[in-house]
C-alpha cells in the first residue's frame, strides 16, 4: 500500500513539536498546540471511522525488515481508536496542568510529548514489533521526568521504575519473539492480523510458554501483583503530568496488549492459566486495596489505587467473553481518565499547600468549593459510581466474569445445586474491591475537604484558568460516556476481537 496513514501524522505531531521546542520555540505553547491538534485530529478520525466494519481502518504499511516480516504497519479499529482518544485527551490535560519548571523547561515538555507519541504509536500499531518499540519510546522520558522534576525520594523511584519497566519490556520482547517463532516457517510475520488468522487456521505451535512470557512481561508493565511495587512509588514521586500520562495512558499498554494479542491468538493458554491469573488479580484487588486504605499521603494512595484498579481489567481479560472484554476495554478508558483527573487535582493541591499528608488537611471545601466539587466527581468516577463510564465498565466485567469458566455444579442427596467456580469467587472479591475503593476515596475526601478549616489553609486560591478547563473536560467526557456508554460499545463491536 502506498498511501500514508493519517495515524502517522498523529505520531509525528508530538515528535515534530519536541524538535521545535529544542530549536527554541516557546515550550509550553508549542506543547499545548501540538496536543490540541492531536485531540482535534483524533476526533476527526472518529467522524470518518466506519462503525460496523470489523477490519482495521486507516491502514498503511512500510516494510522495514522484510526478511523478518517487520513493517511499520499502522491502523486502527474501534478499540485502538478509543485508546487513541484517551491518549490525546490525557496529553492535553497533562500539558494543561503542567507547571513550567524554572530549569530545562524545553526538556520537560519534550519528555511529555515523547510519552504521548509513544502511547499513540503503540495504540496505532498493527505490527507487534513497532507496538513494542513505541511503548519503549516513553521509558527514558519517564526516567528523566521523575529524576529531574520529581519530588520526595525521586532518584530511588526513578531507578526502580526504570529497571522494572526495562525488565518487563524485555520479557515481553522475548514473548513477542516467541510468538514469531511458533508460526510456521516461511510465513513468519509480526503483523497482528496475519498472526490472528494463522491462529484461526490452527497452524501455530504450542503457545503456552509464549503466553507465560507475555503475561509476565505485560504483568510487570501493568503492575500486576506481586510485580507492582515500582508503580506507587514512581507515581508518588513523579511530577503530576508525568503520573497522569503514565498511569492514565502508558500503563494501559500492557492490558491493551493482552486483550489484543493473547485473547485472540492464545485463548487456550489463557484458559489453562486462568486460575493463576485469578489469584494474582485478587492480590491486586484485595491485598493492594488494603494497602491503599492504610496510606497516609494522597499521592501514594492514588498510586496504590491505580495498581488496585488494574485488577478489574485483568478480571475482564481472564474471563475471555464478549461481556467481560467489552467491560475491560471500557475500564481502560475510564480508569485512564479518572486517574489522570485525580493526579492532576492532587498536583494542584500540592502546588497550593506544599503537602499531600492527609493528616494536615481539613475543611478545604470552604476556601476552594469548586476544587472540592471536582475532586468529589473524580473520586466518584474512580470508585465507579453510576453515571461515570467506569460503572458500565465494572458492571460488564462483573457480569462477564461471573459467567466465566465452566459452571460448577454440586449435588446434595441427588439434587443438583449451584456452586461458585473460581471466576465467580474472584468476581465476589472484585465486588469487595469496589467497597474498598469507596472506603479509601471517601475517607481521603472527608479528611481533605470536610471538618473545620485551619488558619493555614484559609487563603487558598480556587482552581482556575487552563487547569480548570482541562479537568472539567476530563470529567465531562467521563459523564457523557457514562450515560451513553453505547458511544464506545458501538465502536468496540467493530473490532477484530470477536473474529
Partner 1 sequence: MTPSFPIEFCVLFLGVVLLLADAFFPDMDKRKLAHIALVWLGGFLVATFFLRPALLWASPAGFYLADPLGIFFKQFALVATMLTLVLAIEYAPVVERAIPGSKPGAGLGEFFILPVFTCAGLMWMASAADFIMIFCALELVTISFYIQVAYLRKCPASLEAGTKFLILGALSTGFLVYGITWIYGLSGQTGLSAIAGAFAGIPAIPQSSQTALLFGLGLVLVALGFKVAAAPFQFWVPDVYHGAPTPVTAFLSVGSKAAGFVVLMRVLGPFLTVPEIETRVITVLQVLAGITLIYGNLAAMPQTNLKRLLGYSSIAHAGYLLMGVASVGSPLAGRAIVFYLVGYLLMTFLAFLILIPVAKAAGGDDIAHFNGLGRRSPGLALAMLLAMLSLAGLPFTVGFLGKFFIFEAAMQEQQYFLVAIGVVTVACGFYYYLKVVRAMYWQPVPVDAAPVEFSPLGRFAAAFLAALILIVGIFPKPILDILP
Cβ proximity to partner 1: between 39 and 144 the closer is 144
Instruction: Work out which of 59, 166, 438, 489 binds partner 1, going by CB under 8 A.
Output: 166
The conformation of residue 98, written as its DSSP 8-state character, comes to P
Which residue in the set 79, 98, 139, 434 belongs to the binding site for partner 1 (CB under 8 A)? 139
Q: What would the x/- binding string for partner 1 be over residues 7 to 46, using CB under 8 A?
A: ----------------------------------------
Q: Which is nearer to partner 1, 107 or 211 (CB)?
A: 107
Q: Which of 24, 52, 66, 354 binds partner 1 (CB under 8 A)?
A: 66
The 10 Å CB-count burial string (b at 16+, else e) for 94-105 is bbbbbbeeeeeb
Does position 170 bind partner 1 by CB under 8 A? yes
323 lies in the site for partner 1, by CB under 8 A = no
For partner 1, give the closer residue by CB, 174 or 204: 174
Shortest approach of partner 1 to residue 67 CB, angstroms? Answer: 7
Nearer to partner 1, 22 or 370 (CB): 22
d(CA 293, CA 314): 21
Report if residue 167 touches partner 1, rule: CB under 8 A. Answer: yes
CB contact at 8 A, 359 and 446: no
Q: At its nearest, how many Å lie between partner 1 and the CB of residue 240? A: 19
Q: Which is nearer to partner 1, 37 or 148 (CB)?
A: 148
Q: Measure Cα distances from 372 to 150, 319, 349, 369, 378 in Å.
A: 25, 37, 10, 5, 10
At 260, list the grid cell. 489484543
Give the relative orientation of helices 128-136 and 154-181 as an angle to the nearest 10 degrees.
Answer: 170
Burial of residue 132 (CB within 10 Å: 0-12, 13-18, 19+) is: buried
Are the beta carbons of 74 and 59 closer than 8 angstroms?
yes
108 belongs to the binding site for partner 1 (CB under 8 A): no
> For partner 1, which is the closer residue by CB, 144 or 364?
144
Select from 36, 37, 177, 438 the one that contacts partner 1 (CB under 8 A).
Answer: 177
Binding-site size for partner 1 (CB under 8 A) equals 34
Binding partner 1 (rule: CB under 8 A), the pick from 16, 36, 148, 442 is: 148
Task: Give CA–CA dist 8/384, Å, rounded.
Answer: 34
Q: Count of alpha carbons within 13 Å of 444, Cβ hemisphere only?
A: 29
Say whether residue 205 binds partner 1 (CB under 8 A): no
Q: What are the DSSP calls for 439-480, one per residue?
A: HHHHHHHHHHHSSPPPGGGTTPPPP-HHHHHHHHHHHHHHHH
Question: Can residue 67 be called a binding residue for partner 1 (CB under 8 A)?
Answer: yes
Binding test (CB under 8 A) with partner 1, winner from 20, 58, 123, 143: 143
- Which of 75, 78, 141, 147 lies at the binding interface for partner 1 (CB under 8 A)? 147
CA distances from 418 to 162, 408, 409 (A): 47, 7, 5
DSSP helix/strand/coil, 74:
strand
Query: Residue 156, interface with partner 1 (CB under 8 A)?
Result: no
Nearer to partner 1 among residue 261 and residue 365 (C-beta)? 261
104 binds partner 1 (CB under 8 A): yes
Compute the distance between CA of residue 43 and CA of residue 221 in angstroms, rounded to an integer: 28
Q: Which residues bind partner 1 (CB under 8 A)?
A: 63-68, 103-104, 107, 132-134, 136-137, 139-140, 143-144, 147-148, 155, 159, 162-163, 166-167, 170-171, 173-174, 177-178, 180-181
Amino acid at each position: 500500500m502506498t498511501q500514508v496513514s493519517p495515524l502517522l501524522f498523529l505520531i509525528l505531531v508530538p515528535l515534530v513539536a519536541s524538535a521545535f521546542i529544542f530549536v527554541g520555540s516557546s515550550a509550553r505553547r508549542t506543547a499545548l498546540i501540538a496536543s490540541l491538534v492531536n485531540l482535534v485530529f483524533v476526533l476527526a478520525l472518529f467522524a470518518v471511522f466506519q462503525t460496523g466494519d470489523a477490519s482495521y481502518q486507516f491502514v498503511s504499511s512500510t516494510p522495514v525488515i522484510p526478511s523478518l516480516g517487520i513493517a511499520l504497519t499502522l491502523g486502527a479499529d474501534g478499540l485502538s481508536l478509543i485508546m487513541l482518544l484517551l491518549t490525546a485527551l490525557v496529553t492535553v490535560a497533562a500539558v494543561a496542568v503542567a507547571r513550567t519548571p524554572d530549569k530545562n523547561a524545553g526538556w520537560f515538555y519534550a519528555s511529555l510529548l515523547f510519552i504521548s507519541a509513544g502511547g499513540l504509536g503503540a495504540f496505532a500499531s498493527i505490527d507487534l514489533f513497532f507496538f513494542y518499540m513505541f511503548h519503549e519510546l516513553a521509558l527514558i522520558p519517564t526516567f528523566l521526568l521523575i529524576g529531574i522534576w520529581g519530588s520526595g525520594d525521586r532518584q530511588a523511584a526513578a531507578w526502580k521504575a526504570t529497571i522494572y519497566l526495562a525488565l518487563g519490556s524485555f520479557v515481553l520482547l522475548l514473548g513477542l519473539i516467541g510468538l514469531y517463532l511458533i508460526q510456521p516457517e516461511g510465513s513468519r510475520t509480526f503483523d497482528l492480523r496475519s498472526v490472528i488468522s494463522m491462529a484461526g487456521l490452527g497452524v501455530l505451535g504450542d503457545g503456552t510458554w509464549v503466553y507465560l512470557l507475555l503475561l509476565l512481561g505485560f504483568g510487570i508493565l501493568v503492575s500486576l501483583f506481586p510485580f507492582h511495587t515500582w508503580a506507587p512509588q514512581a507515581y508518588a514521586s513523579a511530577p503530576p503530568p508525568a503520573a497522569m500520562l503514565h498511569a492514565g495512558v502508558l500503563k494501559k499498554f500492557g492490558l491493551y496488549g493482552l486483550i489484543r494479542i493473547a485473547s485472540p491468538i492464545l485463548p487456550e493458554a489463557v484458559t489453562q492459566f486462568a486460575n493463576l491469573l485469578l489469584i494474582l488479580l485478587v492480590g491486586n484487588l484485595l491485598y493492594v486495596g488494603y494497602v491503599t486504605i492504610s496510606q497516609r499521603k494522597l499521592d501514594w494512595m492514588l498510586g496504590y489505587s491505580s495498581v488496585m484498579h488494574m485488577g478489574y481489567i485483568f478480571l475482564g481479560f481472564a474471563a475471555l467473553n464478549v461481556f467481560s472484554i467489552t467491560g475491560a476495554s471500557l475500564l481502560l478508558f475510564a480508569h485512564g481518565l479518572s486517574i489522570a483527573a485525580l493526579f492532576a487535582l492532587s498536583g494542584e493541591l500540592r502546588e497550593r499547600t506544599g503537602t499531600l499528608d492527609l493528616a494536615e488537611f481539613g475543611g478545604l471545601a470552604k476556601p476552594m468549593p469548586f476544587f472540592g466539587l471536582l475532586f468529589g466527581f473524580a473520586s466518584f468516577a474512580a470508585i465507579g459510581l453510576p453515571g461515570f463510564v467506569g460503572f458500565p465498565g465494572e458492571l460488564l466485567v462483573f457480569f462477564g466474569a461471573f459467567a466465566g469458566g465452566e459452571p460448577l455444579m454440586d449435588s446434595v442427596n441427588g439434587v443438583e445445586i449451584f456452586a461458585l467456580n473460581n471466576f465467580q469467587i474472584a468476581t465476589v472479591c472484585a465486588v469487595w474491591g469496589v467497597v474498598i475503593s469507596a472506603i479509601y476515596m471517601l475517607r481521603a475526601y472527608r479528611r481533605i475537604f470536610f471538618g473545620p478549616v485551619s488558619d493555614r489553609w484559609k487563603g487558598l486560591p480556587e482552581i482556575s484558568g487552563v487547569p480548570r478547563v482541562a479537568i472539567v473536560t476530563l470529567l465531562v467526557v467521563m459523564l457523557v460516556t457514562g450515560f451513553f456508554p453505547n458511544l464506545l460499545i458501538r465502536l468496540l463491536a467493530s473490532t477484530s476481537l470477536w473474529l
